[in-house]
Structure formats: structure tokens, C-alpha cells
Amino acid sequence: MSNVAVIGLGIMGLPMAKNLVAAGYTVAGYNRSQGPIDALAAAGGRGATSIADAVADADVIITMVPDSPDVAGVVRGEDGVFANAKAGALWIDNSSIRPDVAKELADEAVAAGLGVVDAPVSGGEQGAIDAVLSIMVGGTAEDFAKAEPVLNAIGKTIVHVGPAGAGQTVKAANQLIVAVNIQALAEAVVFLEAYGVDTDAALTVLGGGLAGSKVLDQKGQKMLNRDFGPGFRLALHNKDLGIVTAAARQVGITVPLGSAVAQLVTSLVARGDGGLDHSGLFKLTAELSGRD
């Protein structure tokens, strides 16, 4: 299982591919734009000219693209993964997509003679760079065992959470928790600034107590600095919260906080802020309070 193809060399996919090269895998990468392909080649990987070229000799195929239609687009059709991967190859989808789509595509992969796991990741760009991603994996125990060595090269916490689609369900829960935490942190920072306290000191002490979280650690300073360069774009979190709210409705449960934050994220995307980091929720929160 030494030859790996990576389809999608974006903010997350490129550092993941580089970490696979560093771990000793032979990595071929394909992306719609040429720049990331060249960056992978410079790091010791091979730039592929097409999906078919990338997967031809691959033992493991990783897809890391934005949404459900994107995943379906790269695996289906004459030029897709299913038609061009060798029999017995393992497909790992690290994208975050709808659980029902993940299950549907997993069935198609099996019919095409492939192993498959849905393995969405959490940890953002820095987690991808540092190879410390949290990875929630859905699929059979056999396919998880095959995927685990590869996933260990890109992540730190790798857990088999159930059958096909289960990884995406857990990722949706992750995105719900993260969004609500970011909004709570944004409100807390606006509150602290309104009272004129030393916000750096305040976040330090808050981080040491029950209010502490990875969200506070990674996003608090970004809010204080008004630095919303994307580690994980609001547009993608908007997509993920759409998955959460739709899936919740499908099983008849309520997510009142998640639904409220989803509307705030949607409003930011609608006004043109979708390219900002999801800590950009602070911008709207501050504006609603008449502050900048």
C-alpha cells in the first residue's frame, strides 16, 4: 500500500499530501489548478495530469474536495476514480460531505471492486500542516485496518466510528460543536472589549479553566488581531452547517443553537465574506453590537 494518489490539493489536501511524501509514500497528486500540483512536485511528489493518471498505479486513493457534488464528480464517469483505479485499491474520502451521499458512493465503490472508508478530518490548515488531524472513519473493520497506516501519516487521533457514512455523521457533529464554540468566543471577546479589560490576559485565564478549548486557543488571538485569513473558510463551514441542519431535520431532532449560528454564517457568506476564516463570525457579532 505504498502508492498513494491525492485528488484535491487545496488548503488541507496539499499539506496532507506533503506529509505522506515525508512519511515515505510514493504520492501522485492532481488538482484543478496547476500551482498546487507544482508545489507537491517540489516536495517530492509527482504531479499528475488527470484523475486517471493519478490513480492508475495507486494502492490508496485520497479525495479531499469541498462538497458532495465535487466528490461525486471526481469518482464517477469515464475519467473518474471508479473507472480508472485498479481492482482492490482503497478509496479514502477525507472530504466533508453528506452522510447519505457517503453511503451511496461507498456502495458504488464496492461495486467497482474498491475498498472504501469515509474519513473526514478536523483540525484545520495548521492541523494538516502538523499532521495532527483528528480523523473519524466510517467503513468496514477490514478497510479501516488498511487505511489506518496511511491516516497515521496525516493525523494524530484516528478512530473507527462505525459503518459507511458514520465518519461523515460524526464530522457533522464536530462542525456543530465548533461553530457554536466560535460564536460563543466571538461574543465573549466583544463583551470583554466593551469593558476595556486586558483581552490577552483574559483569554489566557479563560483558557486555563472550564471555558478553555481548542477553539479558544486557535481562534481567540485571530479575533483580537482581526486576522481572518482562512484556515477553514466560512463558505465551507456554511456548507457543513447545511449538512447538520438537514440531517437533524431528517431524523426529527432539534439543533436550536446550531440553527442560529448557521443563519449567522449564511449571512456572512451572502454578503461576500465566505473566503474568511470561520473565526470571521466575530466580524458580524461585533457589528451587531455597534463595534468593529
Q: Does 183 lie in the same domain as 63? A: no
- Domain shared by 231 and 184, yes or no: yes
Query: Residue 251 is part of which domain span?
Result: 169-288
Among residues 163, 195, 210, which one ends one of the domains? 163
pLDDT tens figures, 235-278: 999 999 999 999 999 999 999 999 999 999 999 999 999 999 99
CA dihedral (181, 186, 192, 197) positive or negative: positive
What is the three-class DSSP state of 63?
strand
| Tally of structural domains, the chain | 2
Q: In the Cβ-directed half-sphere of 119, how many Cα atoms lie within 13 Å?
A: 33
Same domain, 157 and 176: no
Assess whether 146 and 76 both reside in one domain. Answer: yes
Grid cell listed for 62:
485520497
Tell me: the pLDDT tens digits for 156-182? Answer: 999 999 999 999 999 999 999 999 999
Give the dihedral of Cα atoms 198, 201, 207, 211; nearest 10 deg.
Answer: -30
Q: Both 159 and 173 in a single domain?
A: no
State mean pLDDT over 191-198. Answer: 98
Q: Which of 112, 146, 163 is the last residue of a domain?
A: 163
Q: CATH number for the domain including 58?
A: 3.40.50.720
Which residue, 244, 238, 242, 227, is CA-closest to 274? 238
Q: Give the separation between CA 165 and CA 107, rounded to whole angstroms.
A: 11
> What pLDDT score does 292 carry?
81
Catalytic residue among 18, 146, 171, 219: 171
217 Cβ contact partners less than 8 Å away, ≥ 6 residues apart: 207
Position 199 pLDDT exceeds 80: yes
State whether 154 and 204 are in the same domain. Answer: no
Residue at which a domain ends, from 136, 163, 190: 163
Predicted local distance difference test score (pLDDT) of residue 1: 62
- Cell numbers of 91, please? 478509496
What are the tens digits of pLDDT across the range 21-64? Answer: 999 999 999 999 999 999 999 999 999 999 999 999 999 999 99
**CA gap 75, 154 in Å, rounded:** 22
Q: What is the pTM of this model?
A: 0.91
Same structural domain, 7 and 148: yes
Asked if the model's pLDDT at residue 198 lies above 90, the reply is yes
> Which stretches within the chain are classed as H helix?
13-22, 34-42, 51-55, 68-75, 81-84, 99-111, 124-130, 141-152, 166-194, 199-207, 214-225, 234-251, 256-268, 281-288
Residues 68, 34 share a domain? yes
171 is catalytic: yes
| Residue 83 burial (CB count, 10 A) | 14
Look at residues 92, 129, 85 and name the one whose alpha carbon lies nearest to residue 111. Answer: 85
Reported for 220-227, long-range contacts at CB under 8 A and 24+ positions apart, including other chains, are 220/185, 220/189, 222/277, 222/279, 223/185, 223/186, 223/189, 223/279, 223/282, 224/189, 224/199, 224/200, 226/282
- Whether 197 has a pLDDT exceeding 70, the answer reads yes
Same domain, 264 and 180: yes
Q: What is the pLDDT of residues 122-146, one digit of tens each?
A: 998 999 999 999 999 999 999 999 9
